[in-house]
Chain A
Amino acid sequence: METLSQTDRKPASALYFEGARGPGPAWLQTLRQNARARLEETGFPTTEQEEWRFTSVAPLLQWPLRAAEPAARGVGPADIEPYRIAGEGYCLVFVNGRFRAELSNLPGPGAPVQAGSLRAQWNGGASEWEKHLARHADCRANFFTALNTVSFEDGAFVIARANAVVEQPVQLLYLTASEQPGAVVHPRNLIVANTGGSVKVIETYASLTEAAHLTNAVTELVLGPGARVEHGRLQNENESAYHIAAVQAVQDADSRWLSHSIATGARLARNQIQTLLNARGAEAVLNGLYMARGEQLSDHHTLIDHAQPHCQSHEFYYGILSGRSHGVFNGKIFVRQDAQKTNAKQTNRNLVLSESAVINTKPQLEIYADDVKCTHGATVGQLNSEALFYLRSRGIGAALARRMLIRAFANDAVERITVAPARESLEKLLTERFERLDASLSSHE
């Protein structure tokens, strides 16, 4: 990690509360003001709080934090190419938090989906997203969500029209490029699928430089009756970065949300993935894959709120931990009193590849209805030595055999991604990652 200047520190309050109020029209300023009040109530998270028990964000207060310079170095098409998912899809590119129209590919006015920069439009009078933006993500419970609402300077909206089936995926690409440590970006996204609409959105987070930076992203998703949304987060920021994410979906009747959280990057990653199953027949599938190595910490806190009857949720989270890394999985499922006939299933599997890696996994089911089906299971294990021997007994070297088994462990998570180019780029990333993993494992032979 970059050495952070000890003399250039600012008190956290000065940076967060005074210097970082984002722009926007009056209605947005009101929201920001409310969020700011929440910030002060909630206070900066500490490991004293149950929700942050294993994940200390205190080091951030030692950083020379500052808003990322909007005009970073000249970032051109060649810089973004490696991060773009291939194919004919739409892509919204943000560099240091600012939308870059010349690098982006937006749907035209007649397209079944509208997408663009929030900032470019929030002065243009009432827009469809005004009634949703910053209305769903909870500023009360999460300091960083409130901080994002206070501070965000730009972000993306994606809106699928009623009954529109959007074939091309929409990629939201957030790149940070800062030579000096301490740059902060607060990406903000709003994804709406109106009645019967269907859309696939992939958020990608990456760093173009090696300096430590903070990404504090919030995404709200609104699924109308019968809507279908596939939403992926691929986070592969540099291993000095702190990445904090909150995702909140709100689902109407018979809607289906397929969520992927693929977390491979950052020194510390905290992902809060939440959905509210708010009407009959809604279904959520939460798919996750976290890989941590070296000193990385990867934390997922998920919450599925079964507020209404006849809803389903299926949650599959997989962790691969090596080196001295630390994984945290906390899976909360609420089944409220009215939510009869709920069907909820949660699985968390962890592959621990070194002696010093740590995983804290905790299912948390709170069930207030009596006619429900809820199951959960968590496993922590090593590579299957029998399988390893079987592969080697056929002539496959130990390193490749291990790689095949680690890849196999991640397989289900990868296969759930239906956006083929996103899946393929993830496969490539995993292959590279597993190859490098060998060096750290070979001492175990």
Chain B
Amino acid sequence: MLEIHNLSAGVGGKQILKGLDLSVRAGEVHAIMGPNGGGKSTLAQVLAGRGDYEVTSGSVTFNGASLLELKPEERARAGIFLAFQYPVEIPGVNSAVFLKAALNECRKARGEQELDAVEFLDIVKKKSKVIELDPALLNRAVNEGFSGGEKKRNEIFQMAVLEPRLAILDETDSGLDIDALKIVSSGVNKLRRPDNAALVITHYQRLLNYIVPDRVHVLVHGRIVKSGGKELALELEERGYDWIPEAAASNGKP
């Protein structure tokens, strides 16, 4: 589904990703772990199409089509979804209006009928139950005045409504207490299907107790330096990153 080859990218002249390779198949959940500054969030932003980031080399194909030429909205319509680490507050833009417009754009791209207000509300009702999100939040401006937990939950709620093929969760666990973490994780799990996939970026193994990955990758200094099964996450939790030669070298430690 997602094939990344030798991807290099940076922002403001600073190279952050340095020849990254990654392959994700339909039905899989991949976790990306690694120390701060390794490039985890940059990878997420580059995949979503953030203009501030410049791709200097490499390729990304998504379901066989080249992704990097596409605008952010075209990627979203093709089925890429980024759950932001820091969802932005957008005063004056009503959540429901925004999400209905987004869903209808995605449906149009999939060749499906656009939904009217009643049909949309029906979906909202169902999906907000899955995420245990108060649907009253949809009457407010996008993320405005939401608590940290509400913002994260709202990201997963949007994901549930938009039904992407590839979900990228950028540190969705940060700032969540254990109850919220469970709700968000169970929401993500309920949305798993054989024809979609998820890239879970996280700092902590904790999340992976709830969203069990098929593969775990360690991203250090812009490259995947180690990959393994779900047990790799546990090992990282116990031993940190320093036992991985590339990570240790970068820290200036033996």
Contacts and interface: CB of A to CB of B under 8 A. Distances in A.
A368 interface: no
A386 B50 CA distance: 9
Contacts of A396: 73, 98, 101-102, 105
A408 B143 CA distance: 14
A424 interface: no
Given A387-B88, A395-B102, A408 B93 contact: yes
A387 B90 contact: yes
Interface in B85-104: 87-88, 90-93, 97-99, 101-103
Centre residue among A386, A389, A393, A408 by max chain B CB count within 10 A: A393
Contacts of A392: 49, 71-73, 76
B131 interface: no
A373 to B, nearest CB: 25
Contacts of B103: 395
Interface residues of A, number: 24
Nearest to A390: B88
Interface string B30-53: 000000000000000000111110
B166 interface: no
Contacts of B48: 389, 393
Looking at chain A's contact residues, the main secondary structure is helix
A409 B73 CA distance: 22
Interface string A378-392: 000000111101111
Question: Which of A395, A410, A412 has the most chain B CB atoms closer than 10 A to its own CB?
Answer: A395
Nearest to B72: A392
A386 B93 contact: no
Contacts of A384: 88, 90
B50 A407 contact: no
B127 interface: no
Contacts of B207: none
Interface residues of B, number: 33
Contact of A408 (B50, B92, B105, B106): B92
A409 B162 contact: no
Contacts of A400: 101
A94 to B, nearest CB: 35
A409 B91 CA distance: 8
Given A389-B72, A391-B98, A393-B76, A408 B109 contact: no
B44 to A, nearest CB: 10
Nearest to B52: A385
Given A384-B88, A407-B92, A411-B92, A394 B76 contact: yes
A409 B92 contact: yes
A398 interface: yes
B109 A395 contact: yes
Given A394-B158, A395-B106, A389 B90 contact: no
Nearest to A394: B102
Given A390-B87, A407-B92, A395 B105 contact: yes
A369 interface: no
A19 interface: no
Interface of B: 48-52, 71-73, 75-77, 81-82, 84, 87-88, 90-93, 97-99, 101-103, 105-106, 109, 141-142, 158, 162
Interface of A: 384-387, 389-398, 400-401, 404-405, 407-412
14 contacts: A387-B88, A389-B48, A390-B84, A391-B90, A393-B73, A394-B76, A394-B106, A394-B158, A394-B162, A395-B103, A396-B102, A398-B71, A409-B92, A411-B91
Closest 9 CB pairs of A and B: A408-B92, A395-B76, A394-B102, A411-B92, A395-B105, A392-B72, A395-B106, A392-B73, A408-B93
Given A395-B106, A410-B92, 5 more contacts: A385-B52, A387-B93, A394-B106, A394-B162, A398-B73
